[in-house]
Chains A and B, each alone.
Chain A
Amino acid sequence: MSDHPRSTAGGTRTRVAPRPEVVRTAKDYKGEVKPVWCPGCGDFGVLSAVTKALAALQVKPYEVVIVSGIGCSSRMPYFMSTYGLHGVHGRAIPLASGLKLSRPDLTVFAMGGDGDLMSIGAGHLPHVAARNIDITCVMMDNQVYGLTKGQGSPTSPMGHLSKSTPYGMIAKPAKPVLLALTYGATFVARGYSAQPNELSELIVEAVQHKGFSFIQVQSPCTEFYNTYDQYDSLVTDLPEDWDRSDLRAAIDLALTEDKVHLGVFFEEERPVYEIEARKFEEEVQPFDLTSYLRRFA
């Protein structure tokens, strides 16, 4: 797949006008550490899309935190100039939740792969979606465990042959978009790493959305499960007149298996946890131990 268009520079199709004083470009969000991904890895496209999105948003790098789990894709924070927290396997969402809850002023991403977010850490997704914590979760789905060299993952198709499934994967693949929709995520989208400009637009929208955003990114692994040809033929944009407030229609579409739809499936406004949890903000008092202890007298 060496002839495939990879993430390239450019692509400033965005709705956000740059602020006049300091104009940051995508490059300003890239870090000193060079990515260690394999040539052609879909995650390059995601890195490009994220940095482009941040440039479009003109957010200050030191006000952004990329939180990740473990896996190839979870190396993302090292390759950026923002703050980052490279956690343990499966815990990107709760790490990011604690940060965003305590520091709602920050722009917080939770990033990881399909192993991280659909397997070992899958139990966190329903809860962060239900709470509607304002973080942007980007799941780089390569349908394989890349860092551990090629075992089958929860999104590998039935019959998938890998070193850990030598006779074919027996389990049905998880449908991340469908799960996010049914869990109550208030922004659900799907992108494709080979279309970084479109993906960066999705990320801009996700960051601007108030509440929990989930983006599944088809991000192929050239080394262990190269699906570029497959996705090039399967991906299609959502219909022009797609009504993103229609949850049932979104669920129907997420069930589709003959096409892979790209775009924003669903978006709704719902109270945000960290704002609701601050309903006493007006009357916050400093802690006074003596008066606190009076109740025990």
Chain B
Amino acid sequence: MQNFQGVGVSPGRIIGSVRQMPKPVSEPPSGDRLAADVSPEDAVAGLKAAAQAVHDELKGRADTASGDGKAVLEATALMAKDTMLLKSASKLINAGSSAERAIWEAGASVSEMLHNLGGYMAERATDVLDVRARIVAELRGVPAPGIPSSDTPFILVAEDLAPADTATLNPAVVQALVTSGGGPQSHTAIIARSLGLPAVVAAHGVDDIADGTEVFVDGAAGFVAVSPTDEHRAAATAWAETSATLAEFDGNGTTADGHLVPLLANVGGAKDAVAAAALGAQGVGLFRTEFCFLERDTEPSVDEQAAAYKAVFDAFPGKKVVLRTLDAGADKPLPFLTDATEPNPALGVRGYRTDFTTPGVLERQLEAIARAASESEADVWVMAPMISTAAEAGRFASLCAAAGIQTPGVMVEVPSAALTAATVLREVGFASLGTNDLTQYAMAADRQLGPLAELNTPWQPAVLRLVQLTVEGAEQESSGREGAAKPVGVCGEAAADPALAVVLTGLGVTTLSMTARSLAAVGTVLKTVTLEQARELATLALSAPSATEARDWVRAKLPVLEELGL
């Protein structure tokens, strides 16, 4: 029996058959010539046959898809046998190029042409490159790149997944995700949690598991076993039963002794918000407004923004919706705000900082938010991402006030904001900890890098200490004035880990916001501990010498996790 240990990022125990994600198609060498025994006519015919096969495959998928996905697949299918693409490739073949190299170059020039046109056309440039890679794979007789299409369920094994893979990932067929690379904060982890799929990342060696091999995956323990034992089968069966009960959240986040910790949802738009409300979310703790406009290369109008925001507010009448202003930059570029050529984008002009270089966008966004809020019944709070100093917090608060927004706040993601939380919070009404970026900055470890996965976990005692300092800062700020301490929530991936949610509650965090799929699991576990026990577990985690020990020590004191397979 062969086992692999990685990092568990989304709970669930399941047994299934492995399908490896094909490797990306490599570029045919520059100057690759037609083989001596192949005539240009035959090569062109071969290329056309390959293009037709790719067209038929994509068209077949379009026929079973629906909505936006269907339209994109239909257009992509047409690109595969496009006369302009094939004519320019045929010309290259007639000049002596190999078919693979010809379609590669023809695709590159068409893609560049579309890219230079900007806007919608630029967005389609990557579709042409995708089609090109599929045709080359077909010519080589290797599997098409991307998530394999299959009618029978499988466990997907890949090096890592990109955000674009989400669109083609069918959760009815993909049972679990296992990656050899990536980290706890990678896109794979985020995709898995949002779809409720068990997932293990950074499991070295899984790339060598053959297609069709039966494996057991434990997404909580981060464990993958080839040739599952009877125990594994029993665990998978038990999970199938408990997961049904864990699918429902009663809409009341509280500890066993009645200390209320509202459980909120992270959303990217109206569709998420409606789904989150249906799953019992007590409000929205993080509305990522940039997700409404990721495909845009021009600034959306105030009217357009107001409509998008109101659609989210309307899903939560009478409830809290915390909106984050545009968080562009690093892995989420918006062409109208960010400079793609920065050498170090994670430390660059991103989040609130884009207001330094592109003033006006933030003020117009605040105007749109204020308008949408006035037309809805939600309790709208607004926060700025990537705040580093009290002065920035103060300026943001005055912009909010000028727009007529009642409750301004800040994201605490930069360690400097956590360390100076008392002065930062003097300027605004609340803080929300973004643990993903806070971890990346505290540990100086890129979120997307597999080799740094061990550093990149919010279980790092240093990160927990920054959370504690932020809560202490809020208490310090409230001393000497009337009223309670200002709320400090968590809206990073950390809140979705039930064990960590208990620790965060013990540290004094007032609300937890997460992907809606995790609400039920977090709510269930939170109800099993008292506030006092949560505080003890927080102290225990803070005293650990490493992230692994912090996690293990806390989990050992929470046997409910093992019982539920979380």
Q: Do A and B come from one complex?
A: no
| Interface residues in chain B, defined as those with a beta carbon under 8 Å from any beta carbon in chain A | none
| Interface residues in chain A, defined as those with a beta carbon under 8 Å from any beta carbon in chain B | none
